[in-house]
Amino acid sequence: MRRKVSVTGIKPTGIPHLGNYVGAIRLALRLAEEFDACYFIADYHALNVVQEAKQLRHLTYEVAAAWVALGLDPEKVTFYRQSDVPETFELFTILTNLTPKGYMNRAHAYKAAVARKEELRRDPDDGINMGLYDYPILMAADILLFSADVVPVGRDQVQHVEIARDIAAYFNKVYGETLKVPDVHISEAASIPGMDGRKMSKSYDNTIPLFTISSSQLRKLIRRYITDSTPADAPKDADQSGLFQIYREIAAVEDVARVRAQLVEGRMSWGVLKELVFETLDHFLAEPRIHYRQLISHHEQIDALLRAGAEKARPRAQEVMRRVRAAIGVDAASA
């Protein structure tokens, strides 16, 4: 029986941090247990914001190494670089010629960018490139090219999958049943608080990096984590503590229950919890760090595994494109 297909895009715009792992990477990796899972480095998507060649290459290597170090097994899944599958961009071109402009006008990212310009009393299109405007179409091509049954995304990305569904349905209405209409798989992952209590995000500069700092640097970072002024021997509201939320995501269930009880009963200070969070996170990252450093120092190994992934991906993509070309009338075989 055919296993259902899932497709996950990984945009190389920064080295993954703890919030990325808890909120996306961990859940995405679990999909490989149930689905025929495809993961790709979305390097063309990154061109919207990364427009320096050396930086894009470096970020691609960093992200690929991080995911493999955290448990992605290229032997069990299809793991490739978007730019290594040219069928993606052929399908993107075809879909661009078919997709109603109104679909793009309602895209949240584009509308938000325009709104920001208007707030600043600037031309609404100032600094907005066509890559941002057409982003949902390229994402649709990524998804539809592999006949995805499900696409796992956070709530902020749901609209992109909905647009992909609309595009597939519109194509099928015009040319007949050709493209698989995917379902969205909404991730309800926890949102991890950053160093300052806000959502952990590179834009806030409040992240806990996974691989770019040493153990001693990690300890110093955790010690700077903002907590309230509750005295050491006073009861604490564990569930409202960002620091405890981090511990809850990385520690064993029985340890979480024990530490929570100690905090609530006033038997643990924030300082002790910080050291515990450091020790737990440092232990969790010990083996992944070794794997990451080995990979990131040998780019040729990353290139090799991504090329091997593309070799697995392209026959599947080519089969979909044969159907698409036949449907639109540009394939000689369709005559």
Same domain, 61 and 144: yes
Q: According to the model, what pLDDT value does residue 164 have?
A: 95
Same domain, 9 and 97: yes
Q: According to the model, what pLDDT value does residue 28 have?
A: 85
The residue segments making up the domain with residue 24 are: 5-192+298-334
Same domain, 28 and 124: yes
Same domain, 120 and 186: yes
Q: According to the model, what pLDDT value does residue 335 have?
A: 40
For the chain, give the secondary structure using H, E and C: CCCCEEEEEECCCCCCEHHHHHHHHHHHHHHHHCCEEEEEECCCHHHHCCCCHHHHHHHHHHHHHHHHHCCCCCCCCEEEEHHHCCHHHHHHHHHHCCCCHHHHHCCHHHHHHHHHHHHCCCCCCCCCCHHHHCHHHHHHHHHHCCCCCEEEECHHHHHHHHHHHHHHHHHHHHHCCCCCCCEEEECCCCCCECCCCCECCHHHCCCCECCCCCHHHHHHHHHCCCCCCCCCCCCCCHHHCHHHHHHHHHCCHHHHHHHHHHHHCCCCCHHHHHHHHHHHHHHHHHHHHHHHHHHHCCHHHHHHHHHHHHHHHHHHHHHHHHHHHHHHCCCHHHC
Q: According to the model, what pLDDT value does residue 189 have?
A: 67
Total domain count, the chain:
2
Same domain, 64 and 85: yes
204 found inside a domain: no
Tens-of-pLDDT digits for all 335 residues of the chain?
678 999 999 999 888 899 889 888 888 888 889 999 999 999 999 998 899 999 999 999 999 999 999 999 999 999 999 999 999 999 999 999 999 999 998 888 888 888 888 888 888 888 888 988 999 999 999 999 999 999 988 777 889 899 999 999 999 999 999 999 999 988 776 678 899 988 888 888 899 999 989 999 999 999 999 999 999 999 999 989 999 999 999 999 999 999 999 999 999 999 999 999 999 999 999 999 999 999 999 999 999 999 999 999 999 999 999 999 999 999 755 44
19 found inside a domain: yes
Q: According to the model, what pLDDT value does residue 201 have?
A: 86
Same domain, 40 and 66: yes
141 found inside a domain: yes
Residue 67: CATH number of its domain? 3.40.50.620
Specify whether the backbone of 176 is left (phi greater than 0), alpha (psi in -120 to 50) or beta.
left
